[in-house]
């Protein structure tokens, strides 16, 4: 099979979150199993600088953005067995940053139309276009409206992956004609609750809808998680499927990680103590044998930071240290900074995202706190387990699918069900109790490290799903 992944970001070229990790890793894993994969993404200013003029220019074409005719350059390069195509338009993409501009709708309308137009000019003829999040949600819509019956496009299947249903691409109805160029008789594909909703269009038109964990696939049928889209999703359950994300086990490998103080493995975890000592020294905390809880996250509401705020003082007084890395909403940044000032000998906070420090936290912390209100998949808990750092999570989405509570047999972490600060604190206290039993804790760390969350198993499920579609 030939699969084209369309996304607004992908490692190693541009990243703002987990989407980039998925699009950077999954094609590589599928290619390793004998299939041909390519990725198409915008040629952002930062990507152009990273490529340094080394990408191959293929051609330039004109792309319709409603009544406009816009220039589109097509470039190509290879990375780890995967072909990357880049869509160039300096007006739309030669900016500092990836998103958050007043014309994001127009930028990705252009990109989605350009992806389909590009297929006429490249040698790669996909069987499947795998689209990701709202920025590529119009590709299945445009394919159904304009391309499905064109020569050279027959038999093409579209798959749409929801990485986080909260971000939907919602705009006023005026964009339908002014930007999207979708005929009024097709407006029902995109209209929803008085808006134009790009995610809704993909749900209507894609041949398969994938979520990034099995639990998230049924959670988003519930209004609590669906952010208003449960009504349309309930009618499309027949094409909804949850496939758990994996992690890049080469990038996150305690046995070979160049960023950590000492390498170690599940067979010999002695190096982890040295990583803990080095981490605490770097962030200015004393290593006196007390447990360390690590947090690496975006500071936004759905990450469960409100729960942490409610009982933070009690957690600290129970005899733990915190090493926190992240950024986001100012109210949460201010909270963590205040806690670091209140408990300077117990709490270290670094605002921003520093990849090297994140590796050191995964390796040096004893526990990893992730009490998300919702979590489509979550990669951090899987990375933490890879490094033998025991996760404490709320049972939602991918956290439910990956973390088994140590209260039962073969646990690999600690979990709690209700979105309640006291329940989270109870899970932390159970973790501290087991931490005091060094034999039990060593066995738990070993079980966590032996969990296989590589992309290989997930890639097999994706391949089966794609193959099933192509065979229809």
φ/ψ of 333, rounded to 5, equals -60, -45
In the chain, pLDDT over 70 holds for what percent of residues? 100
User: Residue holding tokens 């409610």?
Assistant: 310
| pLDDT score, position 80 | 85
For the chain, give the mean pLDDT: 95
Q: What is the pLDDT of residues 364-383, one digit of tens each?
A: 999 999 999 999 999 999 99
Residue 188 near residue 144 (C-beta atoms within 8 A) = no
Helix (H) or strand (E) run with residue 307 in it: helix 305-317
Whole-number Å distance between alpha carbons of 69 and 64:
5
- Band the pLDDT of 472: cuts 50, 70, 90: confident
What's the rounded mean pLDDT across residues 106-129? 97
What's the rounded mean pLDDT across residues 203-212? 97
pLDDT exceeds cutoff 90 at 81: no
Please provide the CATH number assigned to the domain covering 271-453: 3.40.50.2000
pLDDT exceeds cutoff 80 at 256: yes
Find the range with the poorest average confidence among 16-25, 128-137, 349-358, 411-420.
16-25
- Band the pLDDT of 218: cuts 50, 70, 90: very high
Residues 254, 257, 262, 268: what is their CA dihedral angle, to the nearest 10 degrees? 30
Please indicate whether the domains covering 2-246+456-471 and 271-453 agree at the CATH topology level. Answer: yes
- Band the pLDDT of 65: cuts 50, 70, 90: very high
Domain ranges for the chain? 2-246+456-471, 271-453
Instruction: Please tell me which residue, 15 or 214, carries the higher pLDDT value.
Output: 214
What's the rounded mean pLDDT across residues 255-268? 96
What's the rounded mean pLDDT across residues 112-122? 97
Q: What is the pLDDT of residues 148-192, one digit of tens each?
A: 999 989 889 999 999 999 999 999 999 999 999 999 999 999 999
Q: Which long-range contacts (CB under 8 A, 24 or more apart) does 432-441 make?
A: 432/291, 432/318, 432/319, 432/320, 434/406, 435/291, 435/366, 435/367, 441/390
Burial class (CB in 10 A: 0-12, 13-18, 19+), 185: exposed
Q: What is the pLDDT of residues 391-400, one digit of tens each?
A: 999 999 999 9
| pLDDT score, position 17 | 78
pLDDT exceeds cutoff 90 at 353: no
- The region that residue 375 occupies, defined by phi over 0 for left and psi between -120 and 50 for alpha, beta otherwise, is beta
Calculate Rg over the CA atoms of the chain: 23
Whole-number Å distance between alpha carbons of 230 and 397:
16
What's the rounded mean pLDDT across residues 328-346? 96
pLDDT exceeds cutoff 90 at 78: yes
CATH number (3.40.50.720, 1.10.10.10, 3.40.50.2020, 3.40.50.2000) of 2-246+456-471 reads: 3.40.50.2000
pTM of the model: 0.91
Residue 119 near residue 125 (C-beta atoms within 8 A) = yes
Residue 310 near residue 297 (C-beta atoms within 8 A) = no
In the chain, pLDDT over 90 holds for what percent of residues? 92
What's the rounded mean pLDDT across residues 98-108? 95
- Can you tell me whether residue 395 is helix, strand or coil? coil
What's the rounded mean pLDDT across residues 446-463? 94
- Band the pLDDT of 410: cuts 50, 70, 90: confident
What's the rounded mean pLDDT across residues 453-469? 94
pLDDT exceeds cutoff 90 at 73: yes
């Amino acid at each position: 099979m030939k699969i084209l992944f369309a996304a607004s970001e992908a490692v190693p070229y541009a990243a703002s979150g987990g989407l980039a990790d998925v699009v950077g890793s999954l094609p590589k894993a599928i290619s390793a199993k004998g299939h041909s994969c390519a990725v198409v993404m915008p040629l952002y200013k930062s990507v152009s600088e990273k490529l340094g003029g080394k990408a191959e220019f293929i051609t330039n074409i004109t792309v319709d953005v409603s009544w406009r005719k816009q220039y589109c350059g097509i470039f190509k390069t290879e990375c780890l067995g995967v072909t990357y195509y880049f869509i160039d338009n300096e007006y739309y993409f030669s900016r500092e940053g990836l998103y958050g501009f007043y014309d994001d709708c127009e930028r990705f309308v252009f990109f989605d139309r350009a992806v389909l137009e590009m297929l006429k000019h490249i040698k790669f003829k996909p069987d499947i276009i795998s689209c990701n999040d709202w920025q590529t949600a119009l590709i299945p819509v445009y394919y159904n409206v304009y391309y499905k019956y064109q020569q050279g496009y027959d038999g093409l299947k579209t798959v749409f992956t929801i990485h986080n249903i909260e971000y939907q691409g919602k705009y006023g109805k005026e964009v339908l004609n002014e930007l999207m160029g979708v005929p009024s008789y097709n407006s029902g594909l995109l209209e929803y609750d008085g808006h134009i909703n790009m995610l809704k269009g993909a749900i209507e038109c894609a041949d398969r809808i994938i979520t990034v964990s099995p639990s998230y696939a049924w959670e988003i049928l519930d209004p609590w998680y669906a952010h208003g889209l449960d009504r349309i999703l309930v009618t499309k359950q027949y094409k909804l499927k949850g496939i758990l994300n994996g992690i890049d086990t080469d990038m996150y490998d305690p046995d070979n990680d160049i960023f950590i103080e000492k390498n170690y493995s599940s067979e010999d975890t002695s190096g982890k103590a040295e990583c803990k000592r080095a981490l605490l020294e770097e962030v200015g905390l004393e290593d006196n044998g007390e447990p360390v809880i690590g947090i690496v996250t975006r500071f936004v509401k759905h990450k469960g930071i409100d729960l942490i705020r409610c009982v933070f003082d009690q957690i600290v007084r129970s005899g733990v240290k915190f090493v926190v890395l992240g950024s986001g909403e100012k109210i949460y940044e201010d909270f963590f900074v205040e806690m670091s000032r209140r408990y300077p000998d117990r709490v270290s906070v670094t605002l921003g995202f520093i990849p090297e420090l994140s590796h050191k936290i995964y390796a040096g912390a004893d526990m990893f706190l992730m009490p998300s209100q919702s979590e489509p998949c979550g990669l951090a808990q899987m990375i933490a387990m890879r490094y033998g750092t025991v996760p404490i999570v709320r049972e939602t989405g991918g956290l439910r699918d990956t973390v088994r509570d140590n209260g039962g047999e073969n646990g690999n972490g600690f979990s709690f069900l209700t979105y309640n600060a006291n329940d989270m604190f109870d899970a932390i206290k159970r973790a501290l109790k087991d931490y005091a039993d060094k034999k039990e804790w060593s066995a738990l760390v070993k079980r966590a490290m032996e969990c296989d969350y590589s992309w290989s198993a997930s890639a097999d499920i994706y391949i089966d799903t794609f193959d099933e579609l192509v065979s229809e």
